[in-house]
Every structure is written in C-alpha cells, then in structure tokens.
Amino acid sequence: AQKVTQAQTEISVVEKEDVTLDCVYETRDTTYYLFWYKQPPSGELVFLIRRNSFDEQNEISGRYSWNFQKSTSSFNFTITASQVVDSAVYFCALSEGRDDKIIFGKGTRLHILP
Amino acid sequence: DVKVTQSSRYLVKRTGEKVFLECVQDMDHENMFWYRQDPGLGLRLIYFSYDVKMKEKGDIPEGYSVSREKKERFSLILESASTNQTSMYLCASSSIPGTGLYSNQPQHFGDGTRLSIL
C-alpha cells in the first residue's frame, strides 16, 4: 500500500535560517511521482514540484531545493534563508503508476519567526 | 494559470440539511477531485471523476455523493448533513495523464470551503 509520512508535525525557525522538511514514502510500484504542495494561511494549496521515480537528480529553484533519495525512500524539501512568507503548511504527496489519485502526507506546519 | 473556483469560502448549515458544494475549473481538465481537510488527518479523498457523468469513490465517500454533468463543474453533495461533516472542503482538478514518463499531472486546488454543520 502506498503511504506518505511527514514526521514533523510543526517546526519553528527564526527568519534567515535554513530548514528541511522531511518526507518518507512507501510504494510497491517502480513508477511513481512525488509532489510537494504549500498551503499558506489563505487556504489554497499551491503546487511546488513534481518528481518522477526515474529521476533522482536533486532540484533547486531559488531558495527551495529538493533531495530525492530512492535508497531511503525520501523526498526532503529544504528552504534556504527562510522568510516570514514561507510560513505555511507543506504537504508531501505520492502518486503511483498512471493513477491520477494523489496520496497526501499529513503536512508539516512551518512557522518562520521574524 | 489554472483557476479552480469554489462557490463559497464559508458556509453554515444545519444538521439534516442537504448541502451542495460547487466547484468550477476553467482549464478543460478531465479529472476533478473533492477532499476534506481536518487537523491532524491531512487531506482525505472523498470522490473523484475522470470524465463527465463518471465518478469514483475515494477513501471516505460515506455520507457524500457527487455530480458531474458538465466537464468544468464538479459538485459535492451532503445528502443529510451531520456535525461530523464540519470540515474544510477542497476541490482540485488535473489534466489526463499523457504518454511517457511525464504523466500524473499535478492537481490544482481551489481556495477551499470551510463548512460548519450546526
């Protein structure tokens, strides 16, 4: 069965610190997709990244970076030089094969303190 | 940009009422989804639809039904609202998977409807 675990329920860091959000997944499929979404206080989930299981190359987008490691079934998300606007709930998610359904983790609430 | 619009941000209804939550997307997406979000439980899939007049049960369909008469519109129906259905409801849409590796398109979400059942 597929499963996504975000062990960190809530994290608080001071502005400008780096922070890593952990995501561990379980799947029996060899083809799968991993996602990260951001949910700011306004409520709308915003898509951040999609990664397929055949591409383990890490990705950087501005202050955001993602570390995908199949050996540990992890897809961690790092925010560098955090800002108050990064405060949100972040969800990691998994989709198997050609299934359009996405299984979400329970989310990590990130507080960036000024 | 994809726009997914949910008809209400906040809604208050009474126990036993029939409640309709509406969702419209403007990108001609084939797939549409309804989730509920509760503290500590994350997002849970209620129903989804791959096409007009098609529907599939998600993980928690009990007490809900859906309607998709037009491609752009996906309605969630609480047949007889109960207090345990007080929640944040999120609608999402995605395009159909293509061929090759880059299928499983990301879902695009509306702003959510915070529903309170009294």
The two tokens of residue A33 are 């997709």
- Type of residue numbered B65: S
Q: What is the pLDDT at residue B97?
A: 61
Q: Where are the alpha helices (DSSP H) in chain B?
A: none
pLDDT of residue B41: 87
Pairing of strands B73-78, B19-25: antiparallel
**pLDDT at position A55:** 84
Task: Give residue B106's pLDDT.
Answer: 84
User: Coil, strand, or helix at residue A91?
Assistant: strand
pLDDT at res. B101? 45
Quote the percentage of chain A above a pLDDT of 70.
Answer: 97
- Surface of A (4-43) touching B: CB under 8 A: 31, 33, 35, 37, 42-43
Closest of B66, B77, B78, B80 to residue B33, by C-alpha: B66
Sorting pLDDT into bands at 50, 70 and 90, what band is A37?
A: very high
The alpha-carbon gap from A101 to the nearest alpha carbon of chain B, in Å, equals 8
Q: Which of A39, A36, A69 is nearest to A55 (CA)?
A: A69
Picking from B116, B30, B8, the residue whose alpha carbon sits closest to that of residue B74 is B30
Contacts (Cβ under 8 Å, ≥6 apart) of B118: B12, B13, B14, B15, B83
Q: What pLDDT is attached to residue B100? A: 47
Beta bridge partners of A60: A65
**What's chain B's length in residues?**
118
Give the span between the Cα atoms of B62 and B79, in whole angstroms: 10
Put simply, the answer to whether A98 touches B43 (Cβ < 8 Å) is no
Is pLDDT at A9 greater than 50 in this prediction?
A: yes
Percent of chain A with pLDDT over 90: 72
Choose, out of A37, A44, A45, the residue to mutate when testing the contact with B (most B CBs < 10 Å).
A45
Confidence bin at A8 (pLDDT 50/70/90): very high
Residue A77 has pLDDT above 90, yes or no: yes
CA–CA distance, B59 with B44 (Å, rounded to integer)? 7
Our CA-based measurement puts residue A44 at a distance from the nearest CA of chain B, in whole angstroms, of 4
Report CB contact under 8 Å: A44, B109: yes
Interface test with B, best of A55, A92, A101 (most B CBs within 10 A): A101
The predicted structure's pLDDT at residue B109:
93
Q: Is A98 on the interface with B (CB under 8 A)?
A: yes
| A101 or A97, which is more confident | A101
Cβ of A107 within 8 Å of Cβ of B42? The answer is yes
- The CA radius of gyration of chain A, in Å to the nearest whole number, is 14
Mean pLDDT in each 10-residue stretch from start to end of chain B (118 residues)? 88 96 93 92 92 91 96 96 97 74 74 96
Contacts of residue A105 in chain B, CB cutoff 8 Å? 42
CB contact under 8 A, B41 and A43: no
Residue A21's pLDDT is 98
More confident residue, A55 or B98: A55
